[in-house]
Amino acid sequence: MKDDLTAIILAAGKGTRMKSKRAKVLHRVNGWPILRYVLRATTELALSEFLVVVGDGAQAVRKEFSEWPVEFIEQREQLGTGHAVSQAYGHVSGDFLLIVPGDLPLLTSQVLSRLISHHNEQGADLAVLSMVPAIPAAYGRLKRDASGHPVKIVEERDATDEELDIVEVNSGIYCVRNDEFLWLALRSLDAGNAQGEYYLTDLVEHYHCAGKHVTAIKATDPQQVMGVNSRSELAVADRSMRLRKARELMAGGVTIVDPESTYIELDVVIGSDTVILPGTHLSGGTTVGSNCRLGPETWIDASKVEDDVGIRYSVIESARVRTGTTIGPYSHLRRGADVGPVARIGNFVEVKAARLRRGVKAGHLTYLGDSDVGENVNIGAGTITCNYDGKAKHRTVIKDGAFIGSNTSIVAPVTIGERAIIGAGSTITEDVPSGALALGRARQVNKHKKEEVE
């Protein structure tokens, strides 16, 4: 059946309760836009076709997901979910449609597969995925007849007190035959309701009254089909996704001391026996090796951290930390930093677009930018590479075994040879030969006060 099934993802809503200029489906849950989770769940099913209905913020949504194998259809007027689905007329090739809201970040492909299988097994014309949440709140109530067959979905704003007592509600996910009856039913929807919109939920009553086979199956975990319509719900979804990722990592041998205060995005990979301390943020496809210790209060984005690394109270972005290296506290590795193996970057050290090789030590109060630093170089406190002349960046080369004294300024472009020594307090503007001692500072002069004449 999946070969004949088209997914229609509804991503046109304004998200009024979000109170945002950004499209609702672009708000992020654990680092990813909400819509990305829905696209992942549906594309994992390997269906024949994927359509995304966009409206509010359409251009931004198209740009964000331009590389996904989907076709975008624009709903120029947001007149409701029924109207949104009707915009797909003429674009659909599958014999069946899987209709999914674009604001379900906790959705999994297993949930969708279960609905599709139920629809197929029942030979239904329309199948609804329902749920029984702890608090039905603003969800549409699913009404059944005495035989248990779905007859109607009543939106919360239009429900009577008796209908509001119904605990089974609509998830917004449907599987339906792609036939002429569907499109006629969509065109016949009535907007005479509290919101003045064409509700997709009204299809249930249309199909029931026409004698069509309508069925519903309950989601086993209501949280997986929880919609996000407010900032509060966004926070709930974010927490759930973070804890889901944490459980996955812990099952794979990672120690997370306090999952509630740890923030790890879904595409982050961490090796076994690594310990993650509270306040740590890992994002942007970061990979972490085995037997590392990260945190507390550490932020690592789009970086590669190899085995046996320790990083605490530091920021690492688009950088590489090689095996056996220690970083922090209060270090900053910026884009292009590549440190180690077995290096030591300490207090208030910043590294940018620089390769620091095996055994390099930069313990405190140092800036190393646009530099190539050889093995076993010792960088004294207060050292800076002056890499920018106001117009262009220049590189500094420090070769193996060099010793850079404290409070040194190295004005690039310059090369410091192997085992060279730079005296503390120097300003280096010329190349230093291997093994040489370089002093680039003014000679000290002590002046005494003249003795007072009595």
Domain locations in the chain as residue ranges:
2-225, 246-438
Would strands 126-131 and 169-177 be described as parallel, antiparallel, or unpaired?
antiparallel
Q: Measured between alpha carbons, how far is 169 from 157 in angstroms, rounded to an integer?
A: 13
Q: Do 246-438 and 2-225 fall under one CATH topology? A: no
Rounded-to-integer distance, Cα 89 and Cα 69, Å:
19
Structure letter (DSSP) for residue 158: G
Q: What is the C-alpha separation between 137 and 232, in angstroms, rounded?
A: 14
Q: Please give the DSSP secondary-structure letter assigned to residue 237.
A: H
Alpha helices in 70-165 (DSSP H): 81-86, 109-122, 161-164
CATH number of 246-438: 2.160.10.10
Q: Is 128 exposed, middle or buried (CB count within 10 Å of its CB: 0-12, 13-18, 19+)? A: buried
Distance spanning both ends of the chain, measured CA to CA: 112
Rounded CA separation 43/83 (Å) = 24
Backbone angles phi, psi at 275, to 5 degrees: -110, 125
Whole-angstrom distance, CA of residue 181 vs CA of residue 183: 6
Whole-number pLDDT of residue 451: 56
Q: Which residues, 6 or more positions from 30, have their beta carbon under 8 angstroms from its beta carbon?
A: 238, 241, 242, 245, 263, 264, 265, 266
- Within 10 Å of residue 30's Cβ, how many Cβ atoms? 20
Provide the pLDDT for residue 454.
46
Residue 101: asked if its preceding bond is cis (omega within 30°), the reply is no
Q: Which residue has the tokens 């530091």?
A: 314
Q: Strand, helix or coil at 3? A: helix
The answer to whether the beta carbons of residues 414 and 396 sit under 8 Å apart is: yes
Q: What is the pTM of this model?
A: 0.89
Query: How much is the pLDDT for 3?
Result: 63
In the CATH scheme, what is the code of domain 2-225?
3.90.550.10
Helices (H) and strands (E) in the chain, counts: 8, 39
Tokens of 136: 């039905």
3-class DSSP assignment, residue 345: strand
Among 49, 40, 179, which residue's Cα sits nearest to residue 104?
40
How far apart CA 25 and CA 261 sit, in angstroms, is 25
Q: CA 123 → CA 266, 357, 384, distances in Å?
A: 37, 65, 73
pLDDT value, residue 205: 95
**pLDDT by 10s per residue, the chain, length 454:** 566 899 999 999 877 888 898 999 999 999 999 999 999 999 999 898 999 999 989 999 999 999 999 999 999 988 999 999 999 999 999 899 999 999 999 999 999 999 999 999 999 999 999 999 988 888 899 999 988 899 999 988 888 989 899 999 999 999 999 999 999 999 999 988 878 889 999 999 999 999 999 999 999 999 999 999 999 999 999 999 999 999 999 999 999 999 999 999 999 999 999 999 999 999 999 999 999 999 999 999 999 999 999 999 999 999 999 999 999 999 999 999 999 999 999 999 999 999 999 999 999 999 999 999 999 999 999 999 999 999 999 999 999 999 999 999 999 999 999 999 999 999 999 999 999 999 998 888 888 877 554 4
Catalytic position from the list 118, 213, 364, 394: 364
User: CA 207, 211, 217, 218: dihedral to nearest 10 degrees?
Assistant: 70
| Residue 281 is among the residues annotated as catalytic for this protein | no
* Cα–Cα distance for residue pair 151/210, rounded to 1 Å: 11
Q: Measured between alpha carbons, how far is residue 286 from residues 265, 266, 309 in Å? A: 9, 10, 14
Contact 72, 58 (CB under 8 A): yes
